[in-house]
Structures are given as structure tokens and as C-alpha cells.
Amino acid sequence: VQAGAYQNSTWVVAVAKAGVEDGFPLIGGSLIVDPDGEIVAEAETEGDELLVHPCDLDATIFGKKTIFDFVRHRRIEHYGLITSRAGVVPPPEV
């Protein structure tokens, strides 16, 4: 979750079930991660919890305009081999 938030320079809310369902205990562990990959709120028990954190959407701008500016860094001229075939093509035997 943390890597995904960082790599996409976005806020991530990961939700996990807690408590007991059908006789099985669920561990929970919901969390909120900021665009730098830092956990800013995390469930602390195995019971029901409500997480709240102010999410500044402008915090995503720096990453999306620099390192993770996928539009600027995308090099579609290198995708030919990927898009020209489907399935596995084994290398020629030597």
C-alpha cells in the first residue's frame, strides 16, 4: 500500500475487515497512506474503528509533476515488442 501510494503520488485508503465473521477472527489493519508513502492513520485494534485524517489533495502535485509524471516520461516507441505479439515467444536456441 505504501509503495503504491508513493509510486502513484496519491492518497490511499486501505480497508480491512475486523472482528469475527462466520466464526473466524479478522485482524483488521485499515490504514491511510499519504502521497509520500507514509502511514498517517492506522487501525490499532481487532475491533471496528473509524479512521479520519485530513487529506491535502495538493500534496499529490509535486510527485505527479516530477518523478511520476508518466505522460512526460512515457516512451511508446519502446512498446513495439510488447504490443506486437501475444503470449510467450521463447528465445532461439543457441
Block means of pLDDT (10 residues each) for the chain, 94 residues, are 96 94 93 98 92 97 91 84 81 85
The pLDDT score that the predictor gives to residue 78 is 84
Residue 13 lies in a domain: yes
**The pLDDT value given to residue 89:** 79
Name the residue range of residue 44's domain: 2-83
Instruction: Please tell me the predicted confidence (pLDDT) of residue 61.
Output: 95
Q: How many domains does the chain have?
A: 1
Nearby residues of 93 by Cβ (< 8 Å), 6 or more positions away: none
Per-residue confidence (pLDDT) for residue 70, from 0 to 100: 82
Does residue 92 lie in a domain region? no
pLDDT value of position 14: 97
Number of CB atoms found within 10 A of residue 48's CB: 10
